[in-house]
Amino acid sequence: MPTDMNTYKIAVLAGDGIGPEVMEEALRVLDAVESKFGFKTERTECFVGGAGIDNCGKALPAETLAACEAADAILFGSVGGPKWDSLPPDERPERGALLPLRKHFSLFANLRPGICLPELVDASPVKNALIPGGFDILCVRELTGGMYFGEPKFYGERDGEVIGLDTLIYKKSEVERIARVAFEAARGRNKRLCSVDKANVLASSVMWRDVMNAIAAEYPDVELTHMYVDNAAMQLVRNPKQFDVMVTENTFGDILTDEMAIVCGSLGMLPSASLSHGSGTFFGLYEPSGGSAPDIAGKGIANPIAQILSMGMLLRYTCKETAAADAVDTAVRKVIAAGYRTGDLATGAEGEIRVGTRGMGDAIIAAL
């Protein structure tokens, strides 16, 4: 719970790869909105991921976790890179930092807005004719269940044969709570919810579908449909405009949101919020949907927009600073409309203004 109505404590975990450079821009934009909208943040910068391993010997150092516990929200960059890929899976930045944070804070509701702005239709790999005017999807991904955390989990020898084992398990209560988050979100948008599962094969999906149908009775104003995940993957590239809100389990959501991101034009545009009590919550972890992009790290060319929009989601969901959050979203739309493009968004079209990470941050601050 924020301590003072106008001061929010943020744990800043920039991490690895492009994390620190895009985080720097998000914090500069945050400085600008703070002075414009009259609130304050107290920020604690902490090591996480590979930076945690290098500086403190662990992907999620105890002092980082303590700072997160003391904070109202976590602004997260990205973790991982080739340097740490040879570590045992449990110690690697992704499994050693991000997943424990999600579990520790019960961040079960992952909201990933997939917005293809009208000006970025050309950057999408989908044919322009299929997405006139762009589109706007919200994917609600369950984040603390399914195969990521299911037990048993095992890799080793059993009965004279080496096996790898993961468990896809959901409790009814876990499906109910994510269903409610998704229905609430749909209610606040175009009132259409598509639940994605694999009910033609998986028992967990049959249960998922039953629960979705049961919760639908509480939301008669929302239209619920179901889609198999293989079909959903295809429909996202065939006709993304058909979707309003999608809801799905952890692993399906991981895969579909990367697909959704690129269909929107670039992985560098998509923010996310991971919340512990649906959209009414204060606490949350906010991070770009893309990864640490080690190939372009340190070059000053990464697109900071996903990080900036993640900071905007933090203002919206944790701080309830709606006007400031709207201003961030609007500023991003303005600079895109004005033609500013980092390399990932550039198509070579006339009128494009090519910028790097800092240049994009500057343009967004100016547009505020």
> Which residues form the interface with ligand IPM (CB under 6 A)?
94, 98, 254
**Residue 254: active-site member:** yes
Tell me if 45 contacts Mg ion by CB under 5 A.
no
Among 166, 254, 259, 362, binds Mg ion (CB under 5 A): 254
Which residue's CB is nearer to Mg ion, number 254 or number 259?
254
List beta partners, residue 247: 140, 195
Q: Are 50 and 81 in contact (CB under 8 A)?
A: yes
From the CB of 110, what's the least distance to ligand IPM, in Å? 8
The residue (of 65 and 327) whose beta carbon lies closer to ligand IPM is 65
Q: Which does 222 bind (CB under 5 to 8 A by kind): Mg ion, ligand IPM, none?
A: none
Residue number, 61 or 271, with CB nearest to ligand IPM: 271
Q: Which does 10 bind (CB under 5 to 8 A by kind): ligand IPM, Mg ion, none?
A: none
Question: Least Å distance between CB 143 and Mg ion?
Answer: 11
Catalytic hit among 136, 191, 241, 258: 258
Picked from ligand IPM, Mg ion, none, the partner binding residue 94 (CB below 5 to 8 A depending on kind) is: ligand IPM
Catalytic residue among 16, 72, 148, 244: 148
**329 catalytically annotated:** no
148 a catalytic residue = yes
CB of 236 to Mg ion, least distance (A): 15
Rg (CA), the chain: 20
Residues noted as catalytic: 148, 198, 230, 254, 258
Give the residues lining the site for Mg ion (CB under 5 A): 254
